[in-house]
Structure 1
Amino acid sequence: MAKPFIIPFLLVVNSAYAQTNTYLKPGDTLKYSPQSDKSVWISVQSSDANLALALFMDGKKVKDQDDSRGIKSVERLYFTPEKGKIYELKIWAKSYLEKSKPAKVTITESKNVQVLKDQLSAGQFVEDLHTFRSIREKANSGLYVYRAKKQIDSIYQQAEKEAENCKNIFDFYKVIAKVTGFEGSCHNYTDLPNHASYYMTQKPEYLPVTLTNIDGRLLQDSKEVVVPLGAEVLSVNGIPAKEMINRFSQYYFSDGFSMPYRETAGFERGMIDKFYMEFGTHKNYEISYRWNGKINNVSLPGISLESFRKLQDSRHSLSFDKKLMAEKYSFNKEGEGIYRLSVRGFDFATGKEDPAYTRFSAFLDQMINTLEQEKVKNLIVDLRGNTGGTGALYEKVFSYLTQRPFRDSHYAYTKFNEVPLDEKLVIISLFLSNGVKDKYGLNTYLKQLYPKQIQDKYYWTDDKNPLILPNQKTFKGQLYLLVDQRVASAASHLASLIKSYTNAVVIGKETVGGYYEHNGHLPLVYELPNTGIQTGFSIVHVIQDAQNLPDQHKGQGIIPHIEVHQTDQEFLDQTDVYLKKVLELQKERI
């Protein structure tokens, strides 16, 4: 990696406090010293690369930021300096178009920032829709897994009519988000080039409460606001809760037809941006809610975006989630004769050669020794919140839970082993971290993994899908598997194996990841030429090593044997209803 260098300072009269232009090569890092001693907005932009930044104070990192994903996107950071402190901003390219050369970077310090506006015609939106479809048809092996060609044709016909009437980038984003979700893959990705808040008003017109979806009911999730914590919000500005849930769900994607994640994710992740894209900002909010059996109505003024961010970041439900996700993996005793293995992600190691994989293996060895020495008969495997990661890690876990050999998949394939439409391909950070800097390196990689062509499909090599043997010591007692709507990718793959081939009682919510199959392994991202919207998907269709079960149908996530629900009081008390259900079942079995 080339050495970072200091950016020179250039004053621009009237338009900004400071502005500079320089060039950034892939792999380089820029260093910039903020010039202002007052609070300012620092904006960083390039027409050639998607940038990320980190702010350091006296050598210590105080903030990471990668709000926007498009190649021509902007990163905005509100900088408030403290006297006597030394600040430094580091800037690097997270991704760039395959054809890109060194990226020109502009850094501006200014008192205020403008709302971003797009100047696009209906014809440009339609052109991007055509490009979008061409990308999916040529590169996405999951396009026709859950939908027939006639269905895909129909939704694109409707999308084209809608694109012709689009007034702005939000309108068009809604059109292609709907199409993206229709395909049925939790690895699908379509997003605006800039963070949605950059396009929206800076006036105090944002929702003065936060919401969470608990079993189809929207509960007020903030303390110290007029509407009581835990009150059921029935409508906002006349829009019923059910309609808000349905309209939010179009922005989030699942394998097949699974809905629990799509219906809850927006209230956890999308209140900052997608709520306002869908419902707009308002000077006043008319809120109808139920509290203590009575329906109440209140009119509240909008608040600033920064105030809403603080509400969202301090919401009641988040404290339980932070506690749940505090450790990547752990092993704890939950009562007499019962332990819990919790794994919150499989992204902490890149493969078997990673030292983190070795440490995890030693951790699992210690776990199985404890279970054997104490003659434990009950084990909880808790995968809640686990969105996946490295396949070798989930395979390692299952080797301690099964007595039968297994494989990652029956088979896996992609539609190509040379990247199509490479002029629109985005070289993402995953490729860069593995030394792949262009389409040629990617094509070489694909030909190694998927060399065998059979009827226009390129199959995974056998040596990449070996038979995996059980560990020498395996758990043979009663398993309980905890899953929620966030369980995806490698985690849902593990959950499908556990449900399929062990005695596990599955407790929780239907997962976002599929039981029988999914698209995974390797993501590609493309950028649409006019809007700069990025769209991506995992290119490998995987048929998982899971047996047919009567309660598992094509297009479903892992369906729990026992679905859990949370009462209003349990929400207020932050009761772990999943663990509570396991302990109740264990008592019944004694």
Structure 2
Amino acid sequence: MNKTISITLFLFFSINNFIISQSLNTFNLSEMRDDIDTLVKSIEDTHINPYYKYSKTDFYSDVRVLKKQLKYPLNTVDFYLLIQPLIAKLEDGHTDIKPPIHLYNQSNPAVLPYIIKLSPSKPYIISSQYSLPLSKQLPDGAEIISINNVPARKIVNDIINLNTGETRAFRADFGANYFDFYLQSLYKTNGTYRISYLHNNRKKDVIIKGIPQQEFSKLLKHYNDSASNTPSPENVYYSLKLLPEIKTALFDFRSFEDLDRFNVFIDSAFAVIKKNEIKNIIIDIRKNSGGDSDIGDEFIQYLAKTPFRQYDKVIEKHSRLLKKRLLDHRIGKILTKEDSIFLNKSEGLLDTEVYEDIPLKNTPFRFDGNVYVLTSSYTFSSAADFAQCIKHYKLGKIIGEETGGLIVSYGDIVTSHLPHTQLVFTISSKLYYNIGADKNDWNGVNPDLKIPADKAMDYALKLIHFIPNH
């Protein structure tokens, strides 16, 4: 790198760091304490049992300690870093404060241009390369030992403490999505990363200059468009790929989003599967953190042999925020009789709904071959529910890791924001019991074949190769 570029990057990151610190509003002690009180009250009013893992006594003690730590005004990001570990102790992935990424991104912050995998156990941080024309200073599969003299173990533990979820593995995996934000917010890396790493049993050190986020996003989009010769589609939640030589179809299923679009996709996908006489399906939900469970129902329609259900029962707590959510969804519409009954129920009331089996639809494309579902610690919420349904009805084999989402779990979020900092938070309003779960089954979906997530696809393909005539 020549001297001119070095000076330019130094000035960019110096100015950038100044902008980050100067552009955020600060809040006085009274405002921050009021935000804390609002959050605690909202959780207790909305959640069925927020203290199912962490006792109310300990939580209240932590709240008192937190308030005493408020000595001077803080900006939104620093207040988030202070309060989020408190919420993470509740161990509910749906009860959360969203990191203020929109504020952070306003300054066009630096990006460490590598794909990062975090784990609560050693190796804590593994990097892999983007398929981009960038300097490959970190080799594929490098184990990062430290960044700017901060040990990898501390980095991962700090990130876990800033993410909610039922398992530490899920919290680490999910936290990797905001790795650059955490590095800057916690350790003030300012676009310069002094990294020690291990590769092929050799320890090396390297200094990497980050890339401005907007420049990196353009580079990534341009490369993806060039590689496929077509513009990158927006919101690619699910896709289908055929391997006709082994009569196999691969579903890359990233999110349970957009039901209308999914219904069109899934019907055409199974039409293609039938036309090509596919005998094996691999459904990859290793990077799927959930969404709309109705999408799971629609997918299972093409796999099930008998009527089915994903849930045995759900318990719902009526609250002000839950009623507000209904009213927000009904803006511009006439309230139904059922809406009025719901809105008139007392706040704090618990209702239990027992689910009935969903009848099978008539379809010429129902699949009767082998099904393999790939899971990881990142598989959460509706994605984990989908995997549990597949396993319970023996519709396929689960291959990979225990899911981050549990088979008895809280969910169905309501969303609000704090009055002063405007931080957005979500709270679970229901308790779900998945099909086949007992009341004390606070665990994820255990795979039929336990394999590290990054090896699950290869394992499934090897299984298929050993099937006579595939």
Could you state the TM-score of these two structures normalised by the residue count of structure 1? Answer: 0.62
Q: Which residue does 2:117 correspond to in 1?
A: 213
Report the CA distance shift for 1:392/1:307 in structure 2 as closer, same or farther (over 3 A): closer
C-alpha displacement of 1:138: 0.5
The aligned amino acid for 2:420 is: N
Structure 2 counterpart of 1:363, from 262, 268, 282: 268
The aligned amino acid for 1:399 is: Q
What is the RMSD of the two structures over their aligned residues, measured on CA atoms? 4.2
Report the CA distance shift for 1:335/1:326 in structure 2 as closer, same or farther (over 3 A): farther
Residue-pair matches, total:
435
Q: Is the 8 A contact 2:113 2:210 kept in 1?
A: no
Q: Which residue does 2:432 correspond to in 1?
A: 542
Report the CA distance shift for 1:431/1:402 in structure 2 as closer, same or farther (over 3 A): same
Corresponding position: 1:348 with 2:238: no
Q: Residue by residue, what CA displacement relative to the aligned partner does 1:474-507 show, whole Å, maximum 9, x if unpaired?
A: 5455431112344333222111111222163211
Q: Distance in 2 between matches of 1:369 and 1:449?
A: 44
Q: Which residue does 1:336 correspond to in 2?
A: 246
Q: Which residue does 1:380 correspond to in 2?
A: 282
Q: Which residue does 2:457 correspond to in 1?
A: 579
SS in 2 for 1:514: coil
- Structure 1, unaligned stretches of length 5 or more? 1-111, 567-575
**Structural mapping, 1:187-226, within 5 Å:** 187-191=94-98, 195-197=102-104, 206=110, 209-213=113-117, 216-219=124-127, 221=129, 224-225=134-135
Larger Rg: 1
Q: Is the 8 A contact 1:402 1:502 kept in 2?
A: no
Corresponding position: 1:494 with 2:386: yes
SS in 2 for 1:530: coil
Structure 2 counterpart of 1:389, from 283, 287, 291: 291
Could you state the TM-score of these two structures normalised by the residue count of structure 2? Answer: 0.76
**Structural mapping, 1:220-259, within 5 Å:** 221=129, 224-225=134-135, 227-230=137-140, 231-254=142-165, 256=166, 258-259=167-168
Q: Distance in 2 between matches of 1:303 and 1:359?
A: 39
C-alpha displacement of 1:261: 3.1
Q: Is the 8 A contact 1:142 1:183 kept in 2?
A: no
Q: Which residue does 1:527 correspond to in 2?
A: 417
The aligned amino acid for 1:582 is: A
SS in 1 for 2:174: helix
Report the CA distance shift for 1:124/1:226 in structure 2 as closer, same or farther (over 3 A): same
Q: Distance in 2 between matches of 1:477 and 1:450?
A: 46
Give the structure, 1 or 2, with the largest relative contact order (CA under 8 Å, sep 6 or more): 2
Structure 2 counterpart of 1:457, from 332, 350, 363: 350
Q: Distance in 1 between matches of 2:152 and 2:181?
A: 18
Structure 1 or 2: more strand by fraction: 1
Q: Residue by residue, what CA displacement relative to the aligned partner does 1:400-448 show, whole Å, maximum 9, x if unpaired?
A: 333343334222232215548x9xx7x7xx976x44379x97x987655
The aligned amino acid for 1:401 is: L
Q: Which residue does 1:264 correspond to in 2?
A: 173
Q: Distance in 2 between matches of 1:389 and 1:375?
A: 28
Q: Which residue does 2:88 correspond to in 1?
A: 181
SS in 2 for 1:271: helix
Structure 1 counterpart of 2:316, from 398, 404, 414: 414
Q: Which residue does 1:405 correspond to in 2?
A: 307
Structure 2 counterpart of 1:291, from 199, 220, 228: 199
Structure 1 counterpart of 2:67, from 157, 160, 171: 160
Q: Residue by residue, what CA displacement relative to the aligned partner does 1:296-342 show, whole Å, maximum 9, x if unpaired?
A: 223456665555666887999xx99x99x856242634643544444
Over the matched positions of the two proteins, sequence identity in percent amounts to: 19
The aligned amino acid for 1:264 is: D
SS in 2 for 1:298: strand
- Structure 2, unaligned stretches of length 5 or more? 1-18
The aligned amino acid for 1:293 is: N
Q: Which residue does 2:9 correspond to in 1?
A: none
C-alpha displacement of 1:286: 2.6
C-alpha displacement of 1:285: 3.8
Q: Distance in 2 between matches of 1:435 and 1:241?
A: 48
Q: Residue by residue, what CA displacement relative to the aligned partner does 1:21-67 show, whole Å, maximum 9, x if unpaired?
A: xxxxxxxxxxxxxxxxxxxxxxxxxxxxxxxxxxxxxxxxxxxxxxx
Structure 1 counterpart of 2:442, from 555, 566, 569: 555
C-alpha displacement of 1:565: 3.8
Q: Distance in 2 between matches of 1:220 and 1:381?
A: 24
